[in-house]
Amino acid sequence: MLYREAGQFKATYAEDMAIFPIRQDRIALAVLLGIAFIGVPLLATFRIWPFGTDYLLWAILLPFLILALAAIGTNILVGYCGQISLGSGAFMAIGAYSAYKLATGVHIPLAWLGFAIAIPPLPVLASILLGGFMAAGAGILFGIPSLRIKGLYLAVATLAAQFFFDWAFLRLPWFTNYAPSGSVNAPELDFFGMVVRSPVERYLLCLAVVTVMAVLAKNLVRGNLGRQWMAIRDMDIAAELIGIRPLYAKLTAFAVSSFIIGVAGALWAFVYLGSWEPLAFSIDRSLELLFMVIIGGLGSIMGSFIGAAFILIVPIMLNVIPTKLGLPLSTQTITHLQFIIFGSLICYLLIKEPHGFARLISIGKEKLRLWPFPY
């Protein structure tokens, strides 16, 4: 009975166009943000359950936030614009390594021209954002084939990006500042004199970035550009005939998507991993992001969060529940089970509900509105 919109009249188009037009949803969101921004840091600071150890922050919330951000980026390309990508991992890597190079100083000796390009080390925030822009540039470059080829063919083009950059960051020592092991360390996370060190600080940093970028992404997808993307996705020929330029629509989708994924990659490297190898951004990561988007909901910002949470929680549950039941599973079995669960869930959702969990939730809300009389 609590979930009713009767009596909530919208007098202006602005009100009708709000992200959450129903008051109860807005209240729920406010509570959620309150918990995320104030509740969690307080509990973690005073080490109150369930934040007695840093486990929840480090192993769940931090990766959840960053991967959700990367999933938003993937969703813009795959879910909104309908351009398949198996190369999200590579764009995370481009964000991460670009940010790393910029934060440690870039030096490109151009001996045959008689001079060198030298950029002094940039502040961390600038490096991360520029990392995003570098990824956006690469995204545009690898998006160009999408103007001539579609769907499945594009999948191979993005695979080319994935494997080429995997190789480049592994084999070209310039990217890793000639580190002998190939693994690199993030610079100190100094934001205008404030140094982010503890898990809570890292969490708050990611939360802030993710919140801002999620809102901006939501603005884009519900505005004209978002409609252009979806038009291209649903019927590109008709889209052209109402004046949408495929070139502009597709390349903006690639750019925006890669920018978000690039920033997520930089955060993943700098804030979560601290030190990393190219393996952190392999094709497995790309597929994982694609799964988050399909499971959470193609074409839904909220779905990206749900998908990320689901993909992270399943392996933990597979570990925890059988152990509680006295039947602990081996790590290998857990991995295999996880493969089977994700795989079958993907197939099931594609058949039954292509818009994923996000759609299931909104169906649930429709039912709740009418509850207890379903008519």
Partner 1 sequence: MIALGQFLEVLIGGLMSGVLYSLVALGFVLIFKASGVFNYAQGAMVLLAGLALVRALDLLVANGLPLWVAVILAIGFAAVIMAATAWLIERFVIGPLVNQDGLTLFMSTIGVTFVIEGAAEMIFGSDVYPLRLFPTDAWFLFEGLFPGGILVNKLDVWGALIAGVLVAGLAVFFQRTKTGRALRAVADDHLAAHSIGIPISWIWFVVWLVAGLVALVAATVWGTKLGVQFSITFLALKALPVLIIGGLTSIPGAIVGGLIVGAGEKLAEVYLGPSIGGGIEYWFAYVLALAVLLLRPQGLFGERIIERV
Partner 2 sequence: MRAPNANEILLQVEGVALAFGGVKALRDVSFNVKKGEIRAIIGPNGAGKTSMLNVVNGFYHPNHGAITFKGSTRSKMQPFEAARGGIARTFQNVALFKGMSALDNIMAGRTLKVRRGLLWQLLRYGPALAEEIEHRRKVEEIIDFLEIETIRKVPVGRLPYGLQKRVELGRALAMEPDLLLLDEPMAGMNLEEKEDMSRFIIDVNNHYGTTIALIEHDMAVVMDLSDRVAVLDHGVKIADGTPDEVKRSQAVIDAYLGVAH
Tell me whether residue 219 or residue 333 sits nearer to partner 1 (CB atom). 333
Phi, psi of 108 (to 5 degrees): -115, 105
8 A C-beta contact, residue 342 and residue 311: yes
For residues 177 and 190, give the distance between their C-alpha atoms in angstroms, rounded to a whole number: 20
List the structure tokens of 42.
Answer: 């307080």
User: By rule CB under 8 A, what string of x and - marks binding of each residue 272-301 to partner 2?
Assistant: ---------------------------x--
In the complex, least distance from residue 264 CB atom to partner 2, rounded to whole angstroms: 17
Q: Which does 170 bind (CB under 5 to 8 A by kind): partner 2, partner 1, none?
A: partner 1
d(CA 367, CA 372): 9
If the CB atoms of residues 107 and 367 are measured against partner 2, the closer one turns out to be 367
The SS3 assignment for 182 reads coil
Q: What, of partner 1, partner 2, none, does residue 84 touch, CB below 5 to 8 Å by kind? A: partner 1
The H helix count followed by the E strand count for the chain is 16, 6
Tell the smallest beta-carbon distance from residue 158 to partner 1 (Å): 9
Do the Cβ atoms of 135 and 95 come closer than 8 Å?
Answer: yes
From 345, 365, 369, select the one nearest 302 (Cα to Cα): 365
Could you report how far apart the first and last alpha carbons of the chain are, in Å?
14
Task: Considering the complex, state which of residue 44 and residue 166 has its C-beta at the smaller distance from partner 1.
Answer: 166
Q: Which of 104, 183, 319, 338 binds partner 1 (CB under 8 A)?
A: 338
- Rank residues 127 and 158 by Cβ distance to partner 1 and give the closer one: 158
Work out whether 240 is an interface residue with partner 2 (CB under 8 A). Answer: yes
Choices 121-129, 152-160, 208-216, 310-318 (CB under 8 A): range interacting with partner 1: 152-160
**Is residue 223 a contact point for partner 2 (CB under 8 A)?**
yes
Give the interface segment with partner 2, choosing from 11-19, 194-202, 279-287, 364-372 (CB under 8 A).
Answer: 11-19
* Cβ closest to partner 1, residue 22 vs residue 346: 346
We find the least distance from the C-beta atom of residue 241 to partner 2, in angstroms, to be: 5
Does residue 18 belong to the site contacting partner 2 (CB under 8 A)? no
Contacts of 65 (CB under 8 A, 6+ apart): 203, 206, 207, 210
Determine the interface stretch with partner 1 among 61-69, 117-125, 316-324, 335-343 (rule: CB under 8 A).
Answer: 335-343
- Which residues lie across from 109 on neighbouring strands? 116
Burial of 367 (0-12, 13-18, 19+ CB in 10 A): exposed
CA dihedral in degrees (149, 86, 206, 263; nearest 10)? Answer: -50
Q: Using the rule CB under 8 A, is 155 a contact of partner 1?
A: yes
Under rule CB under 8 A, residue 140 binds partner 1: no
Q: Any idea what the Cα angle at residue 306 is, between residues 303 and 309, rounded to 5°?
A: 150
**Cβ 323 to partner 2 shortest distance, Å:** 42
If one asks whether residue 237 binds partner 2 (CB under 8 A), the answer comes out as yes
Phi, psi of 98 (to 5 degrees): -65, -45
The correct pick among 36, 346, 361, 368 for binding partner 1 (CB under 8 A) is 346
What span, in angstroms and rounded, lies between the C-alpha atoms of 212 and 208? 6
Percent helix, strand, coil in the chain, to 5, is 70, 5, 25
Number of other CB atoms surrounding residue 66 within 10 Å: 26
- Minimum Å distance from CB 312 to partner 1? 16
CB of 240 to partner 2, least distance (A): 4
Q: Give the separation between CA 75 and CA 83, rounded to whole angstroms.
A: 10
Binding range to partner 1, per CB under 8 A, among 63-71, 110-118, 317-325, 333-341: 333-341
Closest CB 47 distance from partner 2, rounded Å: 39
Can you tell me which of 11, 241, 325, 351 binds partner 2, judged by CB under 8 A?
Answer: 241
Which residues would be at the binding site for partner 2 (CB under 8 A)? 12-14, 17, 216, 219-220, 222-225, 227-228, 230-231, 233-235, 237-246, 252, 256, 299
